[in-house]
């Protein structure tokens, strides 16, 4: 028997009652096998192929034209789950397998696939291995329409160049900071640079985020502020020791600000200030990260200092359980503070 395409009467649209919104019907999402859907359709209409716009749905007479257009667009995304050559290879094998099952009146299942391989005595074992793996993958590749579209979009996104903020050069950033009229703003911008942080991370900082030590250094505790720390507040990069002129400026700022918040500047306001440089707020972090990388290369430092400084996940980081025991002492063990001092 030929494998039937998934249908569900409950998927038909409900006619709206006059003056009322349409009734919403919750239905079980049908599973599909994209390759077999197209291969079966090829048997009925050979003109269809890998570019078939009806990859994950069947047209119905009750669908409004706009609805069909939306689904057609979504299916162009779904088609990207495989490369064109992969589509051709899979469809060719699926077509042979379906014809074999139709000839003997058997379902398209794994037992039929075994029989199909046994019938192909004309093929070399190496080819049969490829066929077996492809058939196994196709038979087990059951996804919902949303799964298929999501996978297609994911692969499209991976092939699309990601547009990112232009990184600021260190000299360029320093000129920008020196031109700021407020020393408080200069201090906060400088902190954003030496910590290679998003401005949204800087906005979360309060007076409680800093500990002034007797030797004049400042211990910064990011806690759960940075986006990357929300999953694990005890990440090793949580604690940073700041020294030198930067520490002195931060101490002066902490004494001068009236409220608990370090700065009231928003990301939008920072981006507006950087617009004359064709940069955005994120340009600071990108520029700082690249400057940190150049320092690591120049001084032959541990390359994993860069992701630690950026507060990114790092498989070579100290375990979070150890950080929870050590607390602020972690700042002396990660090496981040030495890189911050050189920023």
User: Domains in the chain, start-ordered, CATH in brackets?
Assistant: 9-159 (no CATH), 170-342 (1.10.443)
What confidence score (pLDDT) does residue 282 get?
Answer: 92
From CA 237, how far away is CA 336, in angstroms rounded? 8
* Axis-axis angle for helices 183-194, 282-299 (nearest 10): 50
Report the C-alpha gap between 114 and 8 in whole angstroms. Answer: 31
Kindly give the confidence (pLDDT) of every residue in the chain, 343 residues in length, as a single tens digit, with 9 standing for 90 and above.
444 434 443 334 444 444 444 444 444 555 566 677 777 776 665 544 544 545 655 556 677 888 878 887 888 888 888 888 888 888 889 889 988 998 999 988 899 999 999 999 999 999 999 999 999 988 888 788 888 888 889 988 887 766 778 899 999 999 999 999 999 999 999 999 999 999 999 998 999 999 999 999 999 988 755 554 444 667 777 888 999 999 999 999 999 999 899 999 999 999 999 999 999 999 999 999 999 999 998 988 888 888 888 887 766 677 777 777 777 778 777 778 888 888 8
- Chain centroid to Cα 268, Å, comes to 23
Tokens representing residue 120 in the block? 């192909």
Give the number of residues written for the chain: 343
Q: What is the pLDDT of residue 15?
A: 43
- The span from the CA of 254 to the CA of 262, in Å, is 7
- Residue 194's pLDDT is 94
The angle formed by the CA atoms of residues 31, 35 and 40, to the nearest 5 degrees, is 95
Q: How many CB atoms lie within 10 A of CB 297?
A: 11
β-bridge partners, 221: 239
Assessment of whether the complete model's pTM goes beyond 0.85: no
Whole-number pLDDT of residue 87? 82
> pLDDT value at position 176?
95
Can you list the pairs that 258-263 forms with residues at least 24 positions away whose Cβ atoms lie under 8 Å?
A: 260/206, 260/207, 260/208, 261/203, 261/205, 261/206, 262/188, 262/202, 262/203, 262/205, 262/206, 262/207, 262/209, 263/184, 263/185, 263/188, 263/202, 263/203, 263/205
- pLDDT in the model for residue 26: 43
What's residue 161's pLDDT? 67
Residues 156-181 have pLDDT tens digits of 888 776 677 889 999 999 999 999 99
Residue 18: its pLDDT value, please? 43
């Amino acid at each position: 028997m030929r494998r039937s395409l998934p249908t569900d009467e409950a998927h038909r649209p409900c006619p709206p009652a006059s003056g009322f919104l349409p009734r919403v019907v919750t239905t079980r999402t049908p599973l599909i096998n994209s390759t077999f859907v197209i291969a079966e359709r090829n048997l009925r209409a050979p003109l269809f192929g890998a570019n078939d716009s009806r990859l994950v749905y069947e047209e119905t007479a009750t669908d409004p034209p706009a609805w069909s257009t939306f689904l057609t667009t979504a299916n162009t995304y779904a088609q990207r789950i495989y490369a064109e050559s992969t589509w051709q290879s899979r469809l060719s094998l699926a077509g042979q397998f379906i014809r074999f099952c139709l000839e003997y009146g058997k379902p398209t299942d794994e037992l039929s696939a075994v029989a199909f391989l046994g019938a192909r005595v004309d093929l070399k074992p190496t080819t049969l291995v490829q066929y077996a793996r492809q058939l196994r993958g196709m038979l087990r590749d059951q996804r919902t329409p949303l799964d298929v579209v999501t996978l297609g979009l994911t692969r499209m996104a991976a092939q699309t160049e990601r547009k990112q903020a232009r990184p600021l050069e260190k000299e360029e950033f320093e000129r920008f900071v020196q031109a700021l009229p407020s020393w408080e703003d200069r201090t906060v911008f400088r902190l954003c640079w030496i910590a290679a942080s998003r401005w949204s991370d800087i906005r979360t900082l309060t007076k409680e985020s800093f500990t002034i030590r007797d030797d004049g250094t400042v211990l910064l505790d990011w806690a759960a502020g940075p986006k990357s720390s929300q999953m694990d507040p005890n990440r090793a990069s949580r604690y940073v020791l700041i020294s030198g002129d930067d520490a002195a400026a931060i101490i002066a700022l902490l004494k001068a600000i009236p409220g608990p918040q370090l700065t009231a500047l928003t990301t939008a306001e920072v981006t507006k200030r950087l617009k004359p440089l064709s940069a955005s707020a994120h340009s600071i972090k990108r520029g700082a990260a690249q400057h940190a990388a150049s320092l690591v290369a120049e001084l032959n430092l541990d390359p994993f200092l860069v992701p630690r400084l950026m507060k990114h996940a790092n498989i070579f980081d100290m375990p979070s359980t150890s950080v929870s025991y050590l607390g602020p002492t972690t700042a002396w063990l990660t090496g981040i503070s030495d890189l911050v001092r050189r920023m």
